[in-house]
Structure 1
Amino acid sequence: MTADWQWENAVAGSVAGLATVTFSHPLDVVRTRFQVYDGRNPNLPNYKNTPHALFTIARSEGLRGLYAGFLPAVLGSSISWGLYFYFYNSAKQRYMKNQDESSARIHLASAAEAGGLVCLLTNPVWVVKTRLQLQNPQHHGRPYSGLSDAFKTILKDEGWRALYKGLSPGLFLVAHGAIQFTAYEELRKIIVDFRHKHNSLSDNSSDLLTTGDYAALGASSKLAAILATYPFQVIRSRVQQRPSTYGVPRYIDSRHAMEKTARLEGIRGFYRGITANLLKNLPAASITFIVYENVLNLLKRTRKD
């Protein structure tokens, strides 16, 4: 794969990420607030369920509340997806030169490599997004006024290390992308092979797959990844919370968060907000891969012309 093809993947990935965030952000706000709620923080409201959370936030905070942290989410998602698809396809082509490797192993290694690089580059953006999403009328202290103010305040009050809180569970979450992309690629290959055997009119895999196929593949691969890795998302959100007005963090580090969650909340604590997460991510994954595959196909056709 040439550099031009890799950048086409990056552009398609960025457009897909932007479409995904715009559609699903209110559910992302709800998920984040559920994830960090442990029943012991007076600064966090208690919601009964996802519909109640959406209604309460809309009523008490308006559209601003439902789209809290939208700018860093857009930047982070667009940059992350663009870099992810670029690094993933670049790594996949490199690994494919070794004919001894199986396709599943190639996809897994490529996704893991891409996820690790993206995590290191974008963690500060996710810290800011999480903190902006957790701001609510019950919040004490001076709130961040926006993306720029959040970055400046964090650097001033806590130092640059604070921007890398949650990096450890974030690196473990590399497995999320690895599982998702491996499942997507393998399921896609099965469908293409099946269609190819029953359709001799085209050798192009993109001609054998429909928008419905991309939607189903995106959702099913995402479901597998969520069920396997969701506890790491909860721990990352908890660690990335803003310290109290006295500068004391609720959780010292990821290990402390895991131990405290397990002791006080049990297994249920590690899956808080998963309903909102599924409602957000399954359709979002479908949209992401529909947009990605169609934009990529368009760029390929434009390049040929």
Structure 2
Amino acid sequence: MNQESNKGLRRELISGFTSGVLTILATHPLDVIKLRLQLSRDAHSSYKSIIKQTLSLPTEGKKNAFLHFYKGLGINILGNSTSWGLYFFFYRYYKDLLSPMSSSSSTAYQRDKKMTSFDYLAAAWSAGFTTSFLTMPLWVLKTRVISINDNSKHSISTSYSRVIKHIYKTEGMRAFFRGLVPSIISVSQGAIYFSIYDTLKMKMFIHDEERSLSAFETISITSISKMIATVALYPVQTLKTNMQDHGMQNQSMFQTIKTIYHRDLGMKHFYKGIMANLARSIPATCITFYTYETVKGMI
């Protein structure tokens, strides 16, 4: 791999890491609401009831109850910044491997321009698979911390080390990889998203010359790509979240699917929280990719 490629990989890593941090700082409360809706056993739970329930949780001393919406913020920042950094790094790496011009000393733009939508899809899926495997323990920890609802034993300041020790002691090392199968399946969401995003980016907006996207162009293609990918594979995300939750550790993936389906809403339960997810994920992805494109252009 030449010096230009190594520089490009470092740039992708830094840009992805930075965009992940800023995105979570802006959207974490909506992520908490979405996750609690996915885990809710009550068929009549709504955004309003989840918000009220979260605000009613006890606080330590004079802490504001609104801080419950920032429970798990630290692990979410670490997980998302690491995931985005690794994802962009591996996406660039796999694109370089798959590009018809991979063996030449061409620029990243020239290599990308020769790729097809299928090439983008394959590179994105490979990057998602690698990133999911490496970061799965962080997502299990995040789900456990945010889902804790036992008022008598836990508070906003739930210790990450205590949760890690509890998971390892009671469930073993394998518990940190619970939900890996649906997570790998849901990698298809990222693959679909990146395939649409890069196809629109390279074929429609910068097909004639190498240039940076404008803010409007970035937001437009991000919104279109994210909405299609999210709606298509949201049930898999609900399955993964439930598999990682307390009380589901002894169920297989198929048992968890049955459990979710036999709740009062049936198939609709797989789409619980989708509006909160879209309200969070579309602006979040716009922030992520605008920051990514901006930082990459500055490095």
Q: Please give the range of the TM-score, normalised by the shorter of the 2 chains.
A: 0.7 to 0.9
Distance of aligned partners of 1:163 and 1:140 in 2 relative to their CA distance in 1, 3 Å threshold? farther
CA distance in 1, matches of 2:35, 2:240: 10
Distance 1:35 1:140, change over 3 A: farther
2:285 aligns with: 285
| Structure 1 contact 120–167 (Cα < 8 Å) conserved | yes
Deviations 1:225-284 (A, max 9, x none): 1011100110111111123xxxxx376021111122223332201101101101100100
1:87 aligns with 2:129: no
**Kept in 2: contact 1:238–1:251 (CA 8 A):** no
User: Which residue of the partner structure matches residue 127 of structure 2?
Assistant: 114
Give RMSD over aligned pairs: 2.2
Q: How does 1:45-124 map to 2 (within 5 A)?
A: 47-49=45-47, 51-58=48-55, 60=57, 62-97=65-100, 103-124=116-137
Contact 2:167-2:175 within 8 A present in 1 as well: yes
Match of 1:234 among 229, 234, 238: 238
C-alpha deviation, 1:59, in angstroms = 5.3
User: Quick check: 1:15 aligned with 2:28?
Assistant: no
Structure 1 residue 98 displacement after superposition? 6.6
1:271 and 2:271 equivalent?
A: yes
Q: What's 2:261 paired with?
A: 262
TM-score calculated relative to the size of structure 2: 0.86
The residue number in structure 1 matching 2:108 is: none
- 1:84-124 CA-to-partner distances (Å, cap 9, x unmatched) read 0000011001100379x851111001001000011111111
Structure-2 separation of matches of 1:190 and 1:52: 45
* Number of aligned residue pairs: 277
Deviation at 1:156, TM superposition (A): 1.6
In structure 2, how many angstroms separate the alpha carbons of the residues matched to 1:19 and 1:142? Answer: 28
1:218 is matched with 222
Contact kept, 8 Å, 1:184 with 1:218, in 2: the verdict is yes
Q: Percent identity?
A: 30
In the alignment, the residues of structure 1 paired with residue 100 and residue 210 of structure 2 have an alpha-carbon distance, to the nearest angstrom, of 22
Distance, in Å, in 1 between the alignment partners of 2:268 and 2:101 is 43
Gapped regions of structure 1 (runs ≥ 5): 41-45, 197-202, 244-248, 300-305
Separation of aligned partners in 1, 2:273 and 2:250: 19
Task: Spell out structure 1 runs of 4+ moving beyond 4 A.
Answer: 138-144
SS in 1 for 2:245: coil
* Matching residue of 1:5: 8
In structure 2, the gaps of 5 or more residues are: 59-64, 103-113
